[in-house]
C-alpha cells in the first residue's frame, strides 16, 4: 500500500517479535528508500505499559502487587502471595535483540548485582517486555475487549555469578520463559524454596 502524499509505503511482514506464532504479521511502515518510520516511545511510556502488563497477569493469578515509585533496590514491582514475595525489575524495548533460543538484554551492573545478591528476602528477576515498533499498535480496541499487543520474557538473577564487565552484562531471556501467570507461579516456587516456607513441620 502506498501513500503518495506522504511518500510512505506500508506492508505486512512476519516478524520475530512473536516467536511462538511465526505466522503472525504486523504492519510496518517505511519511507520510500527503505527507512522504517517509527516513533521511539519515551521511557515512561515503556515503563507504564510494562506495569500494566504485569498488573493484568498478577490480577488473573490472584497475586497482589506493590509498585515502587523509587527504583532504589533494583526493583520496580514486588508480587505477593501470602507471606511470599517476588521482586521484578521491568525493562521494555521496541527493538529486541534476538539471539539463539531467545533474547538478550544489556542490564546495568548495579541493578544486576542487587537482583543477584544472596542476602535478599525475595528472589530477584528481570522481566523484558517487547512491544511493537509502532506505538499505535500497543493497544487495540475490540468491541468486547482491549488487546495489549506485547509479550514478555523473564530470567531469574538470584544467586547468579558476578559479571565480568563493570558497566553492563548481557542477560539471556529464553524464549520458552514467557512472562505468564504460570511463570509467576514458578517464581513463587523459587521464593518458597529460598525462604523455606511450607517446609516447616507443624508442632
**How do residues 119-160 score in pLDDT, each as one tens digit?**
999 999 999 999 999 999 999 999 999 999 999 999 999 999
Q: How confident is the model at residue 21 (pLDDT cuts 50, 70, 90)?
A: low
The radius of gyration of the chain from alpha carbons, rounded to an integer in Å, stands at 19
Q: Is the pLDDT reported for residue 24 higher than 90?
A: no
Q: What percent of the chain has pLDDT over 90?
A: 72
Helices (H), the chain: 43-61, 109-116, 181-195
Q: How confident is the model at residue 20 (pLDDT cuts 50, 70, 90)?
A: low
Q: How confident is the model at residue 198 (pLDDT cuts 50, 70, 90)?
A: low
Q: Is the pLDDT reported for residue 30 higher than 90?
A: no
Whole-model pTM? Answer: 0.78
Amino acid at each position: 500500500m502506498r501513500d503518495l502524499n506522504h511518500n510512505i509505503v506500508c506492508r505486512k511482514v512476519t516478524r520475530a517479535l512473536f516467536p511462538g506464532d511465526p505466522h503472525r504479521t504486523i504492519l510496518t511502515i517505511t519511507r520510500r528508500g527503505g527507512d522504517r518510520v517509527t516513533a521511539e516511545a519515551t521511557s515512561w511510556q515503556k515503563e507504564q505499559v510494562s506495569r500494566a502488563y504485569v498488573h493484568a497477569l498478577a490480577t488473573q493469578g490472584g497475586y497482589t502487587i506493590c509498585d515502587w515509585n523509587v527504583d532504589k533496590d533494583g526493583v520496580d514491582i514486588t508480587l505477593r502471595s501470602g507471606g511470599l514475595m517476588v521482586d521484578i525489575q521491568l525493562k521494555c524495548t521496541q527493538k529486541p535483540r534476538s539471539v539463539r533460543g531467545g533474547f538478550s538484554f544489556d542490564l546495568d551492573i548495579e541493578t544486576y548485582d542487587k537482583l543477584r545478591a544472596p542476602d535478599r528476602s525475595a528472589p530477584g528477576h528481570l522481566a523484558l517486555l517487547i512491544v511493537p515498533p509502532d506505538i499505535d499498535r500497543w493497544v487495540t480496541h475490540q468491541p468486547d475487549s482491549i488487546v495489549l499487543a506485547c509479550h514478555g520474557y523473564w530470567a531469574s538473577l538470584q544467586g547468579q555469578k558476578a559479571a565480568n564487565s563493570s558497566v553492563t552484562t548481557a542477560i539471556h531471556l529464553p524464549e520458552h520463559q514467557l512472562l505468564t501467570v504460570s511463570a509467576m507461579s514458578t517464581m513463587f516456587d523459587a521464593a518458597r524454596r529460598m525462604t523455606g516456607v511450607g517446609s516447616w513441620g507443624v508442632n
